Amino acid sequence: MRYLGHLPIKDPLYGYLSDDILPRLSASGHSPVFRVYQIPASNDVYLYEDQENRINLVGKFFNGVKNRSPEIAFRHMEREFNNLKHLRGIGFTCHPHCIAPPLGCNARLNCVLIEEFCHGLSLDYFIIKAIREGARECLFQKLTALAYFLATLHNRTATGKKVDMSEDCVYFDRIVDFLKNRGHVGWSEAEDFLLLKEQWRKKECMWEDNQVLVHGDVTPANILFGDGLGVIAIDLERMKKADRVFDVGRVAAEIKHFFMQHAGNGTQAEPFIGHFLWEYACHFPDRDRAFRSIVRRIPFHMGMTLLRIARNPWISDAYRRQLLDEARKTLR
């Protein structure tokens, strides 16, 4: 996080935080002083630290994102606010599974969503520690906790409606189009990826499970860990109904990506991916059957996530090529 200074009293956000938000936390009757920190994120996200009450708030601004209209910003703000409320309403309020409490949202202040700040170390911290310091056991433990959290989320929200894989295929097409339009893949390579997608579409196993609520963006930065099995999920803007393997495959692909990027060897990720999948499967009546079902479907979602990561502008062309090749191998 980067320290930016203090929130000016004349800023309209100051009035909103002090007059509307703090009273909800039984903290009022004084003039708070908010220290402001910028949190790295795709949206404009800031930490507001009220030192007098020792209260930390997170403000996530949905307006101001490139190519996002005010109407779309409002919908994103409202959606995440409702998603947070919904998950807390079905029990994700305390250890070991917690969702940050939403405190308010205000469309007039650049579509800001205010949440309580949650303390925890992110998944990427533990992956990097395992790679650079050999802290493997700690990463295994945190992946056990994450598997428990995701299985609880998915099982608690399962519906009787079958998975519609065509929605994932539309998302896949969008990723490939982006890569092609940016010149990262040529026409023939793009067609090859789309052909692989169609082969997965035809597999019966891709349509067999029931829809669940998925986090939708289970990147390592969006998962925080507390003590023991404690997990705090943040950034629920993309939560939706989908195949549970949408989340599980994204976690597996992110682990693979971190080992490719920081260890130079993606195969070193395999024990951690296997452990995560096996721990996830233990939360079903028939663990072996659940594990086999997940393993049949996961290559598609891993490959799609690797392609998604390859879109990022901050990675080098050489590493992007490694990701594209790994995605192709995984999809095949």
Q: Where are the domains of the chain?
A: 2-116, 121-331
- State the average pLDDT over residues 227-247: 95
**pLDDT, position 51:** 82
How many angstroms separate the CA atoms of 305 and 252, rounded? 9
Residue 172's CB: how many other CB atoms inside 10 A? 25
Angle at 103 between CA 100 and CA 106, to 5 degrees: 125
**pLDDT, position 30:** 73
In this predicted structure, the answer to whether residue 243 has a pLDDT above a threshold of 90 is yes
Residues of the chain with pLDDT > 90: what percent? 90
Burial class (CB in 10 A: 0-12, 13-18, 19+), 51: exposed
Where residue 28 falls among pLDDT bands split at 50, 70, 90? Answer: low
pLDDT in tens, 129-184: 999 999 999 999 999 999 999 999 999 999 989 999 999 999 999 999 999 999 99
pLDDT in tens, 81-132: 999 999 999 999 999 999 999 999 999 999 999 999 999 999 999 999 999 9
CATH fold group of domain 2-116: Phosphorylase Kinase; domain 1 (3.30.200)
Helix (H) or strand (E) holding 225: strand 223-225
Helix (H) or strand (E) holding 60: strand 55-61
Burial class (CB in 10 A: 0-12, 13-18, 19+), 217: middle
DSSP per residue over 179-191, as a string? Answer: HHHTTSS-HHHHH
Higher pLDDT, 31 or 247: 247
**pLDDT, position 29:** 60
Per the prediction, the chain carries an average pLDDT of: 95
Number of H helices, E strands in the chain: 10, 13
- State the average pLDDT over residues 221-245: 95
Adjacent-strand bridge partners of 99: 233
DSSP per residue over 41-59, as a string? Answer: SSSEEEEEEETTTTEEEEE
Radius of gyration of the chain, Cα coordinates, nearest whole angstrom: 21
How many angstroms separate the CA atoms of 114 and 46, rounded? 10
CATH 3.40.190.290 matches 121-331: no
pTM above 0.85? Answer: yes
Give the position of tokens 């990720």.
Answer: 269
pLDDT in tens, 49-62: 998 888 999 999 99
pLDDT in tens, 262-286: 999 999 999 999 999 999 999 999 9
Contact in structure between 120 and 232 (CB atoms under 8 Å): yes
Contact in structure between 84 and 238 (CB atoms under 8 Å): no
